[in-house]
A and B are shown apart, each in its own frame.
Chain A
Amino acid sequence: MLPNHPSEMLTTRFVLPMLAAIGLLAASNSFAANAKLETIISPAQAATADRPTIKSTADHSKFKLLDRDFKTGPEVTKACLTCHTEAAKQVQHTKHWTWESTDPKTGKVRGKKNIINNYCTSPVSNENDCMACHAGYGWKDEKFDFKAEQNVDCLICHDQTGTYRKLPGFAGHPVYKRVEFPHGSGKFVEAVDLKKVAQSIGMPTRSNCGSCHFFGAGGNGAKHGDLDSSLKHPGKYLDVHMDEKGLDFSCTTCHVTSHHEVSGSRYDAAAAVKGPAHIRGKKDETPASCQSCHSNKPHHEAMLNQHTEKLACQTCHIPEYARNQIGTESSWDWSLATTMGLDGKPMAYKDSAGRRSFDSKKGKWEWDSYVIPEYRWYNGYSDYKVIGDKIDPSQTVHINEVGGSANDPDSRIWPVKVHRGKQPYDKVNNYLTVQHTAGEDHTALWHNYDWQKAIAAGMKAAKLPYSGEFGFVDTAMTWPITHMVAPKHDAVDCAQCHSKNGRLQGIEGVYMPSRDSNRWIDMIGWTLVVLSLFGVLMHGALRLYSSKMKGQHK
């Protein structure tokens, strides 16, 4: 790898030889006193100190404006906006702020605010908790002011201290006062030092994005499977690009961001990027794709390159997801929530690996690690069920159905995580229900263990009629897998798909050697072969017999 940044250049050209020299010196004189060593190191340090170590042109710790004791997040935001005049307006146009996304085909409004997933189901009526992952302050109910610029949370993405934490229960505010968390656990979270955080500002790192995206559905790795806290310090085996000792990509290396709009959303994905690698200066529609760097013909062998016409890169290069002990949830059964222990009290227990397995508040979960994905045709389009969409409770409700087919030139076979579950629905109106789960009030499910009250309160907040009758329906959600790319020698080998019961056995519309064959041709062919064999064997046996007979007659 060539160093492409001045500071890296400095490291390789100057510091490394220096360190090597020190190493040699230390080795040659093993009795070298510490003091002596220090005198050797300090000139090197002085030399590096001559050049600024931060990449940014602004050192936020030198700004007078930030040198004060902030009381709240919005106060910090106001300070930020003094210089970054357009930042809040930009953020307010993104999904990170609106939690909305419009379907380009149908105009349907989706996004976290509007869909019901099969994890925690919906933030509606639970904003106080869920908005811990909103890039803003104070969204605790529908009255939240989406125009107020000081409500934008700059710090969750730009903090570099790693101390800025937003906890459920504060509507997106960080911890201003030392608090016991989780409630009753005896563990405490310290109040955040907003001054220190404000002065640390930098570009988002894996930890910044991960503070929400690693912990979706309320647990490390629970939601995505290809995103969890192991990506803070990943090794090469886990992610060849993010490898901390190697390429060390951050999320934004691929999810290239402009005017705070982060590229590469799952809602409208680019599933089949074609053509050569992108060059600088080109208007880049899909920077967050493998092909934008690797092109769609990245292999030396033509045979492998032709696979890119049917397969996503991810299909071979992410052999398993959740490749760590953290794992990911494969199912969440809400129908067992409110089930109490033998003593009539709420209970919770963990699975063998120490992951949540049952909780009277939330139901039952199943987890898995090193998961072999399922595979689907996918063209980047997903049709989501939003609050109020009708369902057919007689079969599994697909909360999002990934589009695409073998005949669609924009479709590729993608690896997906399918998260299965059971969740409440309105038996009369036939739609999934919104339930008020989090909170300390008497209607909150996790407080009073009463489904009726929780659903009634949730539906009221969602402004949907509730019949008063609820049941539980099987649901499934499909998540295209794209992170945790393995090193190339760990790609899925041919025979894992090119075989009778291989990974792609359920994929239709393509002929795959070894997996597929024409039954008739095989039957006729083998009959021909067997008859030929039988024919020559009979002929040979007759020859043998006749020559024996002849021998006897003689």
Chain B
Amino acid sequence: MLKVVSGIFVGAVVAALLIYNLAAGIMFREVPSQFGMEETIARIQHNVLKAGNGWALSGLRNAAKPIEMSGGNVLPVMMIEACSTNYSAPILKDDSLRFLSNLMPCKISVYKKHDGKVYIGLMNAQLIGGLFGSKVGDIMSQVAADQAKFIQFDASQPAPAMIKNAPAASGGSGGAADGGC
């Protein structure tokens, strides 16, 4: 009996450790980009604008800038913020889900590593959404499907211009981006 109990206990511990170890890898994705920093960003931004489903750009953040301002160096890292009211509205209407606003807007980061290559970092929206019940799960799986489109590039198309100041979202300080949030 003791053996069974301790076996279950050990199994549970091992499983917990495994999950703990793998969770980070499952929750986030990293994809190498064939383009440079700006072109990767620009192509994602234009994919977001083309995606429909209410998607709009809500910002472009340079996370390396504050570090440079304080005198330090870090390889470029930019965060594209995108949002769709189609998906955000139902969540934000529900009092029990409003806390999920801290996952908004949807972020895609583009960064360079020391191998000189550019990478795209994404959150696994489907998996994370699934943790919060079927309503959020459904919404987030749609988000995940759209997200997959954001990083599909058509290399035969010329490089679009990077949108440096994404149109201010209607929920922010004015501006009338269609479908902004």
Q: Do chains A and B touch in the complex (CB under 8 A)?
A: yes
Q: How far is the CA of A450 from the CA of B167 in the complex (A)?
A: 44
Q: Are A372 and B162 in contact (CB under 8 A)?
A: no
When distances are taken between beta carbons in the complex, the residues of chain A under 8 Å from B162 are 352-354
Q: Are B72 and A490 in contact (CB under 8 A)?
A: yes
Q: How far is the CA of A444 from the CA of B82 in the complex (A)?
A: 48
Q: Are A490 and B39 in contact (CB under 8 A)?
A: no
- Which one, B10-18, B99-107, B108-116, B121-129, is touching chain A? B108-116
B54 contacts chain A at the CB level, 8 A cutoff = no
Indicate which residue in B42, B67, B69 contacts A352 across the interface (CB closer than 8 Å): B42
> Is the contact region of chain A dominated by helix, strand, or loop, or is it mixed?
loop
CB distance from B76 to the nearest CB of A (A): 5
Q: Are A490 and B76 in contact (CB under 8 A)?
A: no
A441 contacts chain B at the CB level, 8 A cutoff = no
Q: Are B158 and A236 in contact (CB under 8 A)?
A: no
CB distance from A491 to the nearest CB of B (A): 9
Q: Are B68 and A352 in contact (CB under 8 A)?
A: no
B36 contacts chain A at the CB level, 8 A cutoff = yes
A487 contacts chain B at the CB level, 8 A cutoff = yes
**Which residues of B44-92 are within 8 A (CB) of A?**
67-73, 75-76
Q: How far is the CA of A349 from the CA of B159 in the complex (A)?
A: 10
Q: Mark B142-181, 1 if CB is under 8 A from A, else 0.
A: 0000000000000000111110000000000000000000
Q: Mark A345-388, 1 if CB is under 8 A from B, else 0.
A: 00001111110010000000001111110000000000000000
B140 contacts chain A at the CB level, 8 A cutoff = no
Q: How far is the CA of A479 from the CA of B15 in the complex (A)?
A: 54
Q: Mark A125-137, 1 if CB is under 8 A from B, else 0.
A: 0000000000000
Q: Are B73 and A487 in contact (CB under 8 A)?
A: yes
From known contacts A369-B76, A372-B116, infer whether A352 and B41 are also in contact, taking CB-CB under 8 Å. yes
When distances are taken between beta carbons in the complex, the residues of chain A under 8 Å from B112 are 370
CB distance from A433 to the nearest CB of B (A): 30
When distances are taken between beta carbons in the complex, the residues of chain B under 8 Å from A319 are 73
When distances are taken between beta carbons in the complex, the residues of chain A under 8 Å from B161 are 350, 352, 354
Indicate which residue in B36, B39, B42, B71 contacts A235 across the interface (CB closer than 8 Å): B71
> Is the contact region of chain B dominated by helix, strand, or loop, or is it mixed?
loop
When distances are taken between beta carbons in the complex, the residues of chain B under 8 Å from A320 are 73, 75
From known contacts A352-B161, A369-B76, A370-B76, infer whether A496 and B37 are also in contact, taking CB-CB under 8 Å. no
When distances are taken between beta carbons in the complex, the residues of chain A under 8 Å from B76 are 369-370
Determine the residue in chain B with the shortest Cβ distance to A319.
Answer: B73
CB distance from B49 to the nearest CB of A (A): 14
Indicate which residue in A352, A371, A489 contacts B38 across the interface (CB closer than 8 Å): A352
When distances are taken between beta carbons in the complex, the residues of chain A under 8 Å from B115 are 501
Q: Are B71 and A352 in contact (CB under 8 A)?
A: no
From known contacts A352-B160, A357-B159, A369-B37, infer whether A487 and B72 are also in contact, taking CB-CB under 8 Å. yes
Q: Are B114 and A489 in contact (CB under 8 A)?
A: no
Q: Mark A225-263, 1 if CB is under 8 A from B, else 0.
A: 000000000011110000100000000000000000000
Q: How far is the CA of A368 from the CA of B38 in the complex (A)?
A: 9
Q: Are B72 and A368 in contact (CB under 8 A)?
A: no
The residue in B38, B72, B75, B112 that gathers the most chain A C-beta atoms within 10 A of its C-beta is: B38
When distances are taken between beta carbons in the complex, the residues of chain B under 8 Å from A349 are 158
When distances are taken between beta carbons in the complex, the residues of chain B under 8 Å from A350 are 161
A486 contacts chain B at the CB level, 8 A cutoff = yes
CB distance from A413 to the nearest CB of B (A): 17
Q: Are A368 and B68 in contact (CB under 8 A)?
A: no
Q: Mark A315-353, 1 if CB is under 8 A from B, else 0.
A: 000011001000000000000000000000000011111
Partner-A contacts on B (CB < 8 A): 36-39, 41-43, 67-73, 75-76, 112, 114-116, 158-162
13 contacts between A and B (CB under 8 A): A236-B71, A237-B67, A237-B69, A320-B75, A323-B73, A352-B36, A353-B39, A354-B161, A357-B159, A369-B38, A371-B116, A372-B114, A487-B71
Q: Please name 6 further chain A to chain B contacts, defined as beta carbons within 8 Å, in addition to the given A352-B159, A352-B160, A369-B37, sorted by A numbering.
A: A319-B73, A369-B76, A370-B37, A370-B112, A490-B72, A496-B114
* CB-based closest 10 A-B pairs: A236-B71, A352-B42, A353-B38, A490-B73, A352-B38, A352-B39, A237-B68, A372-B116, A352-B162, A352-B159
